[in-house]
Amino acid sequence: MARLVARLDGMPLAIELVAARVEALGVAQLLDRLDDRFGLLVAGDRLAADRQRSLAATVEWSYRLLDEDERRVFRSISVFPAGFTLEAAEAVAGAGAGPTVLRLVDCSLLSPPRVGPDGRSRYVMLETLRAYGAVLLAQAGEQPELAAALAGYALGVAEEAAAGLEMSAGELAAACRLDAEAATMRQVLVWAMVHDAATGLRLTVALAPWWLLRGRLAARSPLLREAAGRAPRAATGGAPRKSGSARPRWSRPIRPGRWATSPRSGTPSPAGRRPGYWRTACAAGPGHWRT
C-alpha cells in the first residue's frame, strides 16, 4: 500500500480513485497496472466537477491553464526520468526554457528544487505528470526529437565527466555529477541500443571510468564488452582483430594507496582502501585510459 501511494505521488484524488479499485483488483494488481494509470483511475464521484472525475481530467485541466510556451516546455522536460537542472532543461527544451521552468514550479507542475548529489539544484516532475507528458509527446510526434536531444545532453555530460575522472583534483566532483545523472544515463543507454548505436557506444566508453570507480563494472559488463570489441576497430579504420587475440580490457593506472585487482587472481592490494574503489592493473602511462 505504501508503494502504491508513492507511485501515485501522494495525490489525494489519485488515492481516492485507486481506493475504489482495491476491492476488485487488489493492491498488487493495481501496482502492476499503474503504467496505464490514466485508463485505470476513472469513474470518480459523479456529483463532482468534470475535472475531478478522473486522474486524466484533473491533469488535463491543469495543463490547459498554461500558455503555449509553458505547454511546450512541460512536454519537453517530461523526457527526464528523474531530477534535472536548469541547464539540462535548456539543453533539451531550448535556450529560453529556464524562466518557464520557474513558472511551472509556481504552477505546482514541478517540485521546488532540491540539492542533488553533485550540489546542484534539481527540479523533479511527479511520476503522474511525467506519464501525462509522455502521452502528449506521443500525440504531438515530438518524442523522437526530444529523446535525441536528451541523448545529446547525456553524452556531453558523460564525456565532460570522463575528462574530470582523469584528474585527481576533479575525480570526486565528476563522479558525483554522474551519480546525480544516473537515471538519465540509464534511460539514454536503453534508447540508444534501439535508435542510435553510435551514440550508445560513445556514451558507454565515456561512462566506463565512472562504472569502474563505483564498482559497477559487473552490472554493466555486456555493454563494456561490446564497447571493447568495437572501439579498437573504429580506431584502426575497421580492421578486424587477429584471430586468437585476446579481447581488450578496460584499464587504468594504479594510484598509490588505491585498491588494485589483478585481472587473473582477483587479489586486492595494497591494503588501506575500501574494496569499492578498485582498479584493474595495467601498464598504461599516467592519466591515460586505454584498451
| Range(s) of the domain holding residue 32 | 2-50
Q: Which of 140, 157, 181 is where one domain is finished?
A: 140
In which band, very low, low, confident or very high, does the pLDDT at 50 lie, cut at 50, 70 and 90? low
> Considering only 22-26, 67-71, 266-270, which range has the smallest mean pLDDT?
266-270
Using the predicted structure, report yes or no on whether residue 186 has a pLDDT greater than 90.
yes
Quote the number of domains for the chain: 3
> Considering only 1-10, 201-210, 216-225, 281-290, which range has the smallest mean pLDDT?
281-290
Are residues 169 and 124 part of one domain? no
In which band, very low, low, confident or very high, does the pLDDT at 243 lie, cut at 50, 70 and 90? very low
Give residue-wise pLDDT tens across range 130-182.
888 988 999 999 999 999 999 999 999 999 999 888 877 778 889 999 999 99
Using the predicted structure, report yes or no on whether residue 262 has a pLDDT greater than 60.
no
Are residues 132 and 90 part of one domain? yes
C-alpha cell belonging to residue 120:
546542484
For residue 188, being part of any structural domain is answered with: yes
Using the predicted structure, report yes or no on whether residue 212 has a pLDDT greater than 60.
yes
Are residues 72 and 110 part of one domain? yes
For residue 44, being part of any structural domain is answered with: yes
Residue 272, pLDDT score = 43
For residue 209, being part of any structural domain is answered with: yes
Percent above pLDDT 90 for the chain: 36
Q: pTM of the full predicted structure? A: 0.62
For residue 269, being part of any structural domain is answered with: no
